[in-house]
Amino acid sequence: MLILLERRVSHLNKTNKSTEVIQTRNSDSTEIKLPTLSLPTFSGVIDERLTFSDLFQAAVTNHQNLTGAQKLQYLKGVLKGDAQKIVQSLPITNGNFQIVWDLLKEIYFHKREILSSLMKKLMNITLITCESHAQILKLVDSTKECVRLLETLDLKVEGTTDIILMFIIQFKLDSTTRGWWERSPDNEKIPLLSELLQFLSNHARSLITEGYGVKRNISNKKVTLVASGFQLHCSYCQSNHNLNKCDAFQNLSVKKE
């Protein structure tokens, strides 16, 4: 791939020798206040691709008041590693930005490869181990991110796809949370993924409101055990122990034998 990049960049350099380099004192560009958004970096790693593309296009590529040269300067500032090799030797000109952006898409943004990585990420979302609002909200956020990225690839989450994703996420729930979900109204109807995520968001909020968490669960169980210990009562000798621990009762049984 590096040899291919070098050839393509060399070709770009030759074809752009006659391109006019943007002047630093251009009256139009000096009046433009560039976006102050902290842009994500991109090194070509597959997990970065869709997020980088979305954010960069929203902040820079689609910015109507930026010249091509200014967009290329932004792009040069955020590319790292192999991706940086595409632009490091190119002059900053208005015409070069679209050429470089198209080249990046050709090399890195393969739909099938990105989809495969995205589905792997969805399948590897961490299982919820207990009824914890933090774990539930993390699962909801991770699922919504995957759905958003699927839609970025023009893959709508609807119909059978929606149902399959809903069950994948449902099976990641702990037994208590899944029990609440299965007892929800209209449990005869096949629910949508959006309905499951809304239920989980509401359930997590209710756990936060109740101050419910793992530590609280453990402490409550301890309190219950201690409290029940003070309520022990022997029906035979009236002492503070269970009947099966009563020596007097056991001796009485022996005598009867």
Could you read off the pLDDT of 132-155 as tens digits, one per residue? 999 999 999 999 999 988 988 889
Q: Is the pLDDT confidence value at 223 over 70?
A: no
Q: How far apart are CA 153 and CA 174, in angstroms?
A: 31
Q: Is the pLDDT confidence value at 195 over 80?
A: yes
Residues 92-114 have pLDDT tens digits of 899 999 999 998 888 888 888 88
Q: How far apart are CA 80 and CA 63, in angstroms?
A: 22
Helix spans in the chain (H): 2-15, 27-30, 49-56, 68-78, 81-84, 94-108, 111-123, 133-152, 160-170, 175-182, 193-209, 214-230, 247-256
**pLDDT score, position 185:** 73
3-state secondary structure of 66: coil
Task: Compute the radius of gyration of the chain from its Cα atoms.
Answer: 31
**pLDDT score, position 239:** 76
Q: Is the pLDDT confidence value at 201 over 90?
A: yes
The candidate with the shortest Cα–Cα distance to 86, out of 71, 64, 105, is 105
In one-letter notation, the amino acid at residue 253 is S
Range of lowest pLDDT (32-36, 77-81, 177-181): 32-36
Own/partner long-range contacts of 250-254 (Cβ < 8 Å, ≥24 apart): none
For 202, other C-beta atoms within 10 Å of its C-beta total: 10
**Top-confidence residue, 215 or 241:** 241
**pLDDT score, position 134:** 95
Q: Which residues pair with 85 in a beta bridge?
A: none
**pLDDT score, position 26:** 42
Mean pLDDT value across residues 60-89: 88
**pLDDT score, position 212:** 55
Q: Is the pLDDT confidence value at 27 over 50?
A: no
Answer yes or no: pTM beyond 0.75. no
**pLDDT score, position 11:** 54
Which residue is associated with the tokens 């009762």? Answer: 249
Categorize the per-residue pLDDT at 220 as very low, low, confident or very high, splitting at 50, 70 and 90.
very low
